[in-house]
């Protein structure tokens, strides 16, 4: 149902542990750096799934044949929590085009919420590989709504949803609502529980607040 990088032993899990740790995550600079490093690892692993072609590289002593990407992906991130994660992906896909989306939870007086999208900056996505990044895949509603908004700018050849942490419910929601699309889900770890406020448990808290400071709720 999803590609879970944390199922394999590597330094990736050290960074997952640190973004979860309530003591370490109090250092917002380290939290942002760890999110960036996780993005870099995701980029490296995702790069193995993309298309390559042989290219000649002229060295000082001759010509070497190297397999290089046929095209860079488009990296799309949900503001604001996705920014450090986005930079990690962009560090490796350093010639990628970029898209940014403002999506947030609009709460009512009863504690329910709808996903609101107020801003979108995006290149043409037609026949391109799209990487849609958000640190947390909780209910899955933000990812699905953002994806549907993005593809009004062209249909990608394939889309990768990338999150550091996901809930099992969120993954199920994505598959239910996008079952006929070319979408793959890549996550660092999957947690089983969502709170009544739709926060992942044990999760890590609010990634945006941990990276950039507390915000006013509205």
**pLDDT tens digit sequence for 183-195:** 999 999 999 988 8
* Alpha helices (runs of H) in 48-167, residue ranges in sequence order: 83-92, 141-150
Q: Cis peptide before 206, with omega less than 30 degrees from 0? A: no
Tell me how long the chain is: 218
What pLDDT was estimated at residue 91?
98
pTM of the entire predicted model: 0.91
What pLDDT was estimated at residue 217?
60
b/e sequence 79-104, b meaning 16+ C-beta within 10 Å: bbbbbbbbbbbbebbeebbebbbebb
Residue 64 bridge partners (DSSP) = 57
pLDDT tens-digit map of 147-183: 999 999 999 999 999 999 999 999 999 999 997 778 9
Backbone angles phi, psi at 92, to 5 degrees: -95, -45
**Dist. CA 85–CA 83, nearest whole Å:** 5
What pLDDT was estimated at residue 195?
84
What pLDDT was estimated at residue 215?
74
* Alpha helices (runs of H) in 68-131, residue ranges in sequence order: 83-92
Q: Cis peptide before 56, with omega less than 30 degrees from 0? A: no
Q: Say if CB 30 and CB 213 are below 8 A apart.
A: no
**Residue 190, token pair as written in the block:** 């999957």
Q: Say if CB 161 and CB 137 are below 8 A apart.
A: yes
**Dist. CA 189–CA 6, nearest whole Å:** 6
Residuewise pLDDT in 10s, the chain (218 residues) = 799 999 999 999 999 999 999 999 999 999 999 999 999 999 999 999 999 999 999 999 999 999 999 999 999 998 888 899 999 999 999 999 999 998 766 655 665 666 778 889 999 999 999 999 999 999 998 899 999 999 999 999 999 999 999 999 999 999 999 977 789 999 999 999 888 778 899 999 989 999 998 876 65
**Dist. CA 107–CA 47, nearest whole Å:** 38
What pLDDT was estimated at residue 198?
80
What pLDDT was estimated at residue 179?
75
- For residue 74, the SS3 value is strand
| Domains in the chain, CATH or no CATH each | 3-212 (3.40.50.2020)
């Amino acid at each position: 149902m999803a590609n879970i990088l944390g199922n394999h032993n590597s330094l990736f899990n050290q960074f997952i542990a640190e973004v979860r740790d309530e003591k370490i995550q109090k250092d917002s600079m380290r939290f942002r750096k760890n999110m960036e490093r996780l993005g870099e690892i995701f980029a490296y692993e995702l790069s193995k799934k993309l298309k390559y072609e042989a290219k000649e590289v002229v060295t000082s002593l001759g010509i070497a044949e190297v397999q290089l990407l046929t095209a860079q992906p488009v990296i799309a991130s949900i503001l604001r929590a996705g920014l450090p994660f986005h930079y990690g992906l962009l560090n490796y896909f350093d010639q990628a085009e970029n898209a940014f989306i403002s999506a947030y939870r609009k709460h009512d007086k009863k504690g329910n919420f709808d996903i609101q999208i107020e801003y979108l900056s995006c290149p043409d996505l037609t026949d391109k590989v799209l990487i849609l990044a958000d640190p947390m895949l909780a209910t899955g509603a933000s990812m699905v709504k953002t994806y549907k908004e993005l593809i009004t700018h062209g249909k990608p050849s394939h889309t990768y949803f990338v999150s550091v942490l996901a809930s099992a419910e969120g993954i199920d929601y994505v598959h239910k609502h996008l079952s006929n699309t070319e979408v793959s889900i890549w996550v660092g770890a999957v947690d089983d529980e969502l709170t009544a406020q739709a926060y992942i448990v044990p999760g890590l808290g609010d990634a945006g607040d941990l990276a950039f400071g507390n915000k006013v709720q509205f």
